[in-house]
């Protein structure tokens, strides 16, 4: 297996990754393309963004609508920043829309309530019923190895249902996640949300109606995931744009701004699957979702987070590899929680995943136990990797100034006094 000479991604990284002649991945090249030192006119891009917002305000006024746009929110760092920026800098009046997938952490609920309170914006939240969630999670886990399929389907569908229902044409997302991780698109593409990417990337090639009759799933169960018709989208003139196409995007800096301005709060305990204390902390099932990625493709969330830190120059390759060793292969404690919720055993969970393992990485030993055959830490750091290093930043990931942002066992974060932030929970919170 080849690994990027700069970050830690393997060549089987999802959804798509490409290595160039220098063995540097498309995600690293995309990150380079966003550098302020390269020829990108961010002022011009921001002016394009302002024009889109002015057009949205004009359309809202013509339609007698009090909301200028929709912002899909989870309560995480990015949705805090999106709402803050649109309201405080650009004078927009967004409608906040949440698809509640039911698998929430206490910290996630705390931060979502905080966002609604601090923003003062109108807020719409759809909560999926637990019986439906259980049926869909179980079927999609067995079928494609994803117990959070309903997350992605709901998050990428419900805001469009609300947009059509309320005649709001503009939906504003934060970053284009696949671009930031593996460079699936170019910054020059000005990618917007499409029905095709929703199905092929977010929903793993399935439409909701494909699930009816499978695993007891009914038409009622799939209602939140049915995308509006092309005719309705065209009538309302709905479009979904990404802030990161128009504004220089730095997720860590933005999280720190939200900590100061709107009291967004990281967690203050070590997670089982990564060292980040501020990213994806609202998603209780993320540990299991990420463990599934490791079981299938041989890498996990620590690889994602360490690769991003390496690209920013805040972490060396050696430090990133140490994080991968510490976290990527850990079985999360919450695995039993979700097996119990879905009515399956751990052995059944592993049996379902077995045919999905990448055979380039996984082999059974003589005892019939799956063992990884490769990992980034089994490769020596050679001339190729040395040439690919980025210039180190003065800021270091595990420094004192980042004590609240990243877990350092030698200098753990101070407790906040809030149980939701200070203690991990084995159980999820529906609301």
Determine if the peptide bond prior to 412 is cis (ω within 30°).
no
Helices assigned H by DSSP within 99-148:
106-119, 130-144
Q: What pLDDT is attached to residue 322?
A: 98
Q: What pLDDT is attached to residue 184?
A: 64
Q: What pLDDT is attached to residue 416?
A: 98
Q: What pLDDT is attached to residue 196?
A: 80
Average per-residue pLDDT for the chain: 95
Strands 362-364 and 69-72: unpaired
Give the residue extent of every domain in the chain.
42-245, 271-422
Question: What CATH number matches the domain at 42-245, 3.10.450, 1.10.3470, 2.40.50, 3.40.50?
Answer: 3.40.50
Structure tokens at 55: 């057009």
253 and 81 in contact (C-beta within 8 Å)?
no
As a whole number of angstroms, the distance between CA 173 and CA 72 comes to: 7
The tens digit of pLDDT for each residue in 326-341 reads 999 999 999 999 999 9
Q: What pLDDT is attached to residue 286?
A: 96
Q: What pLDDT is attached to residue 35?
A: 72
Mean pLDDT of 91-109: 98
The tens digit of pLDDT for each residue in 168-190 reads 999 999 987 655 655 566 677 78
Q: Give residue 197's pLDDT band: very low, low, confident or very high (50, 70, 90).
A: confident
Q: What pLDDT is attached to residue 185?
A: 64
Mean pLDDT of 9-16: 90
pTM reported for the whole predicted model: 0.94
Of 176, 166, 164, residue with least CA distance to 230: 164
Structure tokens at 142: 């067995």
Interhelix angle 106-119/77-84, rounded to 10 degrees, is 0
Q: What pLDDT is attached to residue 186?
A: 66
């Amino acid at each position: 297996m080849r690994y990027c000479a700069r970050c830690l991604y393997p060549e089987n990284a999802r959804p798509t990754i490409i290595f160039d002649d220098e063995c540097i991945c498309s995600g690293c090249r995309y990150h380079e393309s966003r550098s302020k030192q390269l020829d990108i006119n961010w002022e011009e891009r921001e002016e394009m963004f302002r024009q889109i917002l002015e057009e949205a305000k004009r359309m809202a006024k013509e339609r007698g609508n009090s909301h200028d746009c929709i912002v899909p929110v989870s309560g995480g760092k990015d949705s805090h920043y999106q709402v803050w920026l649109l309201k405080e800098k650009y004078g927009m009046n967004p409608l906040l829309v949440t698809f509640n997938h039911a698998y929430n952490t206490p910290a996630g609920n705390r931060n979502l309530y905080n966002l609604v309170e601090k923003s003062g914006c109108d807020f719409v939240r759809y909560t999926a019923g637990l019986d439906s969630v259980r049926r869909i999670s179980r079927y999609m886990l067995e079928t494609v190895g994803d117990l959070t399929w309903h997350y992605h389907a709901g998050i990428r569908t419900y805001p469009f249902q609300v947009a059509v229902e309320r005649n709001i044409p503009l939906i504003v997302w934060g970053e284009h996640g696949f671009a930031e991780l593996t460079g699936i698109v170019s910054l020059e593409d000005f990618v917007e949300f499409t029905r095709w990417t929703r199905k092929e990337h977010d929903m793993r090639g399935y439409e909701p109606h494909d699930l009816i009759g499978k695993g007891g799933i009914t038409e009622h169960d799939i209602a939140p995931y049915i995308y509006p018709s092309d005719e309705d989208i065209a009538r309302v003139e709905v479009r979904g744009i990404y802030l990161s196409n128009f504004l220089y995007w730095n997720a860590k800096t933005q999280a720190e701004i939200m900590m100061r301005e709107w009291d967004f709060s990281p967690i203050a305990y070590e997670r089982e699957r990564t060292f980040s204390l501020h990213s994806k902390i609202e998603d209780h099932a993320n540990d299991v979702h990420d463990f599934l990625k490791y079981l299938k493709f041989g890498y996990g969330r620590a690889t994602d987070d360490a690769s991003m830190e390496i690209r920013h120059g805040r972490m060396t390759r050696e430090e990133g590899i140490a994080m991968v060793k510490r976290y990527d292969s850990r079985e999360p404690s919450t695995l039993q929680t979700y097996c119990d919720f879905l009515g399956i055993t751990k052995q059944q969970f592993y049996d379902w995943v077995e045919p999905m393992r990448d055979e380039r990485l996984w082999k059974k030993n003589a005892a019939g136990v799956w063992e990884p055959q490769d990992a980034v830490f089994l490769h020596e750091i050679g001339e190729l990797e040395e040439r690919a290093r980025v210039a180190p930043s003065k800021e270091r990931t595990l420094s004192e100034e980042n004590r609240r942002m990243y877990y350092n066992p030698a200098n753990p974060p101070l407790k906040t006094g809030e149980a939701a932030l200070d203690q991990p929970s084995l159980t999820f919170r529906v609301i």
